[in-house]
């Protein structure tokens, strides 16, 4: 099973600042990595697929990069609605795994 490790566990920033979240895979996943945002009481929402492609309707301030084992989600200028928990996810042959999440909180 491929393990995804996210860092940091918690990120404290102010609106307008740049947010950088990391996801590291225990073995190469090529570019097959996605990012999700989850707010309290809601299902996750797909933000980024194939490491760097924004899903439909996702603002341009969200961007993804990386390949192989190291990936980054960047939020260029934080809006109040961006404070949430973010998960990375990968699919291998027979199973999916999620990272443990990064909580982005208001400083």
Considering the complex, state which of residue 66 and residue 99 has its C-beta at the smaller distance from other proteins: 99
Draw the binding track, 10-39, toward other proteins (x: CB under 8 A; -: no contact).
----------------------x-x-x-x-
Region of residue 41 (phi > 0: left; psi between -120 and 50: alpha; otherwise: beta): left
Q: Which residues contact 58 (CB under 8 A, 6 or more apart)?
A: 46, 47, 48
Query: CB of residue 31 vs other proteins: minimum separation in angstroms?
Result: 10
Question: What's the min distance (Å) between Cβ of 73 and other proteins?
Answer: 14
């Amino acid at each position: 099973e491929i393990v995804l490790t996210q860092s940091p566990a918690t990120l404290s920033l102010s609106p307008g600042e740049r947010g950088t979240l990391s996801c590291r895979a225990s073995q190469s996943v090529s570019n097959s990595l996605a990012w999700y945002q989850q707010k309290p009481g809601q299902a996750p929402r797909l933000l980024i697929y194939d490491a760097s492609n924004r899903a439909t309707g996702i603002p341009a301030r969200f961007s993804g990069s990386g390949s192989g084992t190291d990936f980054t989600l960047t939020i260029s200028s934080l809006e109040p609605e961006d404070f949430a928990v973010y998960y990375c996810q990968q699919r291998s042959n027979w199973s999916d795994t999620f990272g443990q999440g990064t909580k982005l909180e208001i400083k």
